[in-house]
Amino acid sequence: MTEPEAIAAARTRIDAVTSAIRHQERLAGRKSGSTTLIAVSKTHEADAIRPLLLAGLRDFGENRVQEAQGKWPALKQEFPDITLHLIGQLQSNKAKDAVELFDVIHSVDRPSLVTALGKAMAETGRQLPFFVQVNIGNEEQKGGCAVAELPALLDQCQQAGLNIVGLMAVPPADIEAAPFFALLVELAKRHNLTQLSMGMSGDYETAVLLGSTQVRIGTALFGERG
C-alpha cells in the first residue's frame, strides 16, 4: 500500500469511528466533540502510526513505557502537537520515565505509584493530568483500585499534588459493559470528577452514550491484524 493509500484508509477508519461517536453524543444530548478519540497504538510500529497522524489524529495511547520510548520521541519531534496517553499499568520505578514522555496518565491505582508520580513531577518539573483507574469488575487479574479504596486513594493523590481529572476503567470482557460504565459515572459524580476514560473498540458507543469523555480505540482505527 502506498503512503497516500494508507492515509486514505486511515482517514476512512477515523471518519467511521468519529461519526459513530458524534451520533451517540447526539442521542445523549451531549455537545458534539465532547469525546476525545484516543488511538491505541500499542504493538504498532511508527510506520503504522504515521498514516493516522497524517490523516489528522493527534491523541494516542500506549500500554508500556519502554515500548513508547522506542517510537514516540521521534514522532513527537515530527508532530509536536501530539498528546500521548499512558493507558496501561505503570510500575513505580518507571514513574519518572512516564512523566517525561507522556502527556496524560490514565492508570493511577495504588498509593506507592502516587508517591512515585509526585516525586517524578517534582524532579522533572512537569505537571500532568491523571486519571485514577478503578477495578469496577473486581477482577483479580486487572489493575485499578478497588471501589471501596477510591476515596482514600483520591485523598493521597491530592496530598501528593497529582491533578486528578477523572476516572478510568476497563469492564469485564464478554458481558454487558453498560452497568460497569454506569458505576464509573456514579463514582465520578460522587467525587466531583468530570472526565471518564472508558470505552474501547467493542463497547465505545455504549460508553459515549453514558458519558465517556475519552475512548481508547485500537482495532477499529488500525484495522485487524493480517
Superfamily of domain 3-222: Alanine racemase (3.20.20.10)
- Mean per-residue pLDDT of the chain: 96
What is the pLDDT at residue 141?
84
Residue 140, number of CB atoms within 10 A of its CB: 6
- Give the DSSP letter of residue 148: G
pLDDT tens profile 58-112: 999 999 999 999 999 999 999 999 999 999 999 999 999 999 999 999 999 999 9
* pLDDT for residue 224 is more than 80: no
Residue 182: what pLDDT?
Answer: 97
Q: At what angle do helices 3-27 and 46-54 cross, to 10 degrees?
A: 60
Contact 164, 130 (CB under 8 A): yes
Query: Of all residues in the chain, what percent carry a pLDDT higher than 70?
Result: 99
Q: Does the structure show a pLDDT above 90 at 170?
A: yes
Q: Where are the domains of the chain?
A: 3-222
Q: Look at residue 36 and tell me whether its pLDDT is greater than 80.
A: yes
* pLDDT at position 225: 59
In the predicted structure, residue 212 carries a pLDDT above the cut 70: yes
d(CA 80, CA 173): 35
On the 0-12 / 13-18 / 19+ scale of CB atoms within 10 A, 71 is middle
pLDDT higher than 70, residue 226: no
